[in-house]
Amino acid sequence: MDLKSQLDKAMPRLRIAQAQINPTVGDMPANAELILAQIRAARDQGADLVTFPELALNGYPPEDLLLKQRFLEDSVQAMRALAGGVQGIVAVVGFADLAGGACYNAAAVLSDGALRAVYHKKELPNYEVFDEKRYFIAGDDCLLLEINGIRLMVTICEDIWVPDNEVEHCALRHRVQMAVNISASPFHAGKLDLRRRILARFAQATGAVVCYNNLVGGQDELVFDGGSLVIAPDGAMLACARRFAPELQVCDLELPPAREARPPEAQDFPRLRRVRLAAPGRRQDRPLALTCAPEMGYLEEIHQALILGTRDYVGKNGFSKVVLGLSGGIDSAFTACLAVQALGADNVVGVTMPSQFTSGETLTDAGRVAQNLGIRLITVPVAKIYQAYLEELAQPFGPGEPGVAHENLQARIRGNILMGLSNRFGWMVLTTGNKSETAVGYCTLYGDMAGGFAVIKDVPKTLVYELAAYLNQSAGLELIPQSTIARPPTAELRPDQKDSDSLPPYEVLDPILEAYVEQDMVLDEIAALGYDFATVREVIRLVDRNEYKRRQAPPGVKITPKAFGRDRRLPITNHYRPGFDR
């Protein structure tokens, strides 16, 4: 045997394709076609093995669809039909399995037109946006594939996030050369670095190459950013797919030589199933170079998440066009820019609805934004409609100075106009409120909160300014006028109104909100960070009392570790306020 043959035998090779796809929840026929197309593409590129994300056949997360017996039966039937189309390659596909009357988060192993094995996820996350123990039963064994003599372990997402668990013990006990991890890991800013650390730890602990296949696409509030990874046994990143876009990442991997399984130890409890499969082994070309997609900065990844989340929410729900109010302020201008980048200028309509309190500057800026973006702008003045309301309500309202009821009437008139256009033309209404406003209730129910999708509801106001500047810089021109960015924010619902009349400066408000909402700190802990006690107390009071508003807000893209809605679920009726008696 020559030296090259000896080296080839010592360092077995596997060509793996990671299909980073964007399925639609519940559309199993379309998802199956998408999966089959990627299987064929992987086979055409000479791959031995192709993997797909967690619950790829069903879409993620299916939520209470999993409580429907028929949905699970259809899932199993669709997987069996899918298996018949798999030839000349081994495929690992995520799906919801029905076995023994129970529902499992599963990975199917398909080869030679048959379903060869099914693995059931062992670790079920039940924190943050995850609620898997509501739906799934945990698996009770591990699955080891032997493909052309290579020892490969099948895992699903959380299985390798939990250190020192049964999955890790099994990988160590049987000295696996590769761990395939199919995943649906939702985005928040900085999440990719966390994934890399988790995967590197597992690789170093087990001595295996880790091939992590993530979902991509938007599903209601969640965005899945892809970025599928291949991690070496020493924790180094070997390959990384693009983020926020589908991709078939194909890699040639030289794997550590197979070693004998070590003797069992006391902690080696999990049962193991072994399945031996043959891959075609028809490839004779040179190994493919391992590549990594360009890194994304903090603002770029948030920007891309907002675009993808908007595009998929609108498109997957059957809409082609959107409409939004263009007030001349930064929030509506930024939302309009995102909508154009997600859907195209022809599919975005702006509406300016001036009142007697609208300044000439903001009205001009609304027009400039529409012109810069190339979108249609409709003007519907609200002063006469507002006056008609006041006349009809004069007797019920009685005497007194105009107050918040008068301000909210204007916001609700604008909401009615937008919803009227939506009903007339079938456009989805995008709301433009940010996280800071949503947190403290500086928004109007059935007014500026009325709509189908709240694009920036998880973006704090200070971050809106950063993203607006980034967007202009990336475009190389002022899509959002500098006058809009520089002007003090205002709702313009009364003469000379400013946000700062009702709220602390956003540079103060946003860090307090982050501490209270995202870090779950309480009053005295936040004040100890150096913030004014009375200011913190008032901010907490506003957040707590406006929970009822947020329950009625439309969904929006999650970009922070803890968003309102899926992440943060507090009771509306709630008297727990430690430190308020001080």
d(CA 481, CA 256): 57
d(CA 208, CA 172): 9
d(CA 566, CA 275): 39
Contact 174, 150 (CB under 8 A): no
Known active-site residue 157 = yes
Tokens of 9: 């035998």
Alpha carbon dihedral 473, 476, 479, 482, in 10-degree steps, equals: 60
d(CA 167, CA 154): 10
Output phi, psi for 81, to 5 deg: -65, -40
Helices marked H in 344-431 = 360-373, 383-397, 404-425
Task: Please classify residue 332 by burial: count the beta carbons closer than 10 Å to its beta carbon, then call 0-12 exposed, 13-18 middle and 19+ buried.
Answer: buried
d(CA 544, CA 540): 6
Known active-site residue 9 = no
Question: What is the rounded end-to-end Cα distance, in angstroms, of the chain?
Answer: 83
Q: Which helix (H) or strand (E) segment is 315 a member of?
A: helix 298-316
d(CA 351, CA 353): 6
Catalytic residue, candidates 103, 121, 142, 435: 121
**C-alpha gyration radius of the chain:** 27
d(CA 340, CA 346): 8
Task: Please list, residue by residue across 501-540, b when 16 or more beta carbons sit within 10 angstroms of its beta carbon and e when fewer do.
Answer: eebbebebbbbbbbbbbbeebbbeebbeeebeeebbbebb
Determine the 3-state secondary structure of 377 from DSSP. Answer: strand
Q: How far is CA 289 from CA 250, 425, 512, in A?
A: 9, 50, 47
- Dihedral over Cα of 428, 433, 435, 438: its sign: negative
d(CA 409, CA 398): 16
Catalytic residue, candidates 103, 142, 157, 170: 157
Determine the 3-state secondary structure of 379 from DSSP. Answer: strand
Contact 179, 206 (CB under 8 A): yes
Q: How far is CA 148 from CA 12, 87, 186, in A?
A: 9, 16, 34
Tokens of 434: 């940010």
Known active-site residue 54 = yes
The residues carrying an active-site annotation are 54, 121, 157
